[in-house]
Amino acid sequence: MKKISMGLVVVLSFAFAACELDKTDEGVTDDTITGDNTTTETVEAVYKWVRISDDPDNESLSTCGNNNPGADIDAVAIVRGGSIIGWVDQIVADKLGSTCGTNTAANPNEVKGNELDPDASDAENMFLSLNGGEISVHFADMTTGTEIVIQKGDQIKVFEIPGTGSGQTEYYDVDLCEDAGCATSLALGNGSGEAQFTY
């Protein structure tokens, strides 16, 4: 009787080990099955920040002919499953540009929150003009207020204010970043006006 029980334990252990090996891990690049039946996992980069950089070829940066040089960023959202789930809650703008001497839309806080959501103290400038520079933005879930970790399949939706007239279409580059400094980044693309970029 004791012999049969031990045999059963061995069979069950083997079945469990086989199950472990067959499991599918999303977002995991390297699984190592060790002798004590624990799993060591090496995960991919975790992106929580997005960098938006002015396109140096924007005409307004060479002419400096208006008060809002470069791309004009109103807001940035994370789209998941076809719906916006969050907006910018933190922005780092220590690399905002200074290509042109005049920029009347230089307040980074204008990028936070919903699109076209005016700052009560500055209702006319609902956006930030990049002036040849770049910003990094971080997101909060609009329902829970918690930090958003950007997932594969998510879209980064940029709301840039399109200018009217010749030379007023302005472009920007979008990258995913692990942190605000963007030491590790993934390029998603170049766009203008309101545009979405898929991870």
Q: What minimum distance in Å lies between the beta carbon of 93 and Ca ion?
A: 13
Dist. CA 75–CA 116, nearest whole Å? 8
Residue 70 Cβ vs Ca ion, minimum distance, rounded to whole Å = 5
Q: Which one, of 186, 85, 94, 95, lies nearest residue 139 by Cα?
A: 85
Instruction: Based on the shown chain and the rule CB under 5 A, indicate whether residue 160 belongs to the binding site for Ca ion.
Output: no
User: Binding residue for Ca ion (CB under 5 A) from 72, 134, 173, 175?
Assistant: 72
Half-sphere exposure (CA, 13 Å, Cβ side) for 183? 1
Amino acid of residue 98: S
Q: Which of 68, 107, 125, 131 binds Ca ion (CB under 5 A)?
A: 68
110 binds Ca ion (CB under 5 A): yes
Q: Which residues contact 81 (CB under 8 A, 6 or more apart)?
A: none
Number of neighbours of residue 10 by Cβ within 10 angstroms: 9
Candidate segments 20-28, 68-76, 88-96, 141-149, binder of Ca ion by CB under 5 A: 68-76
Residue 135 is a binding residue for Ca ion (CB under 5 A)? no
Which of 126, 130, 137, 150 is in the footprint of Ca ion by CB under 5 A?
126
Residues that bind Ca ion (CB under 5 A): 68, 72, 74-75, 110, 126
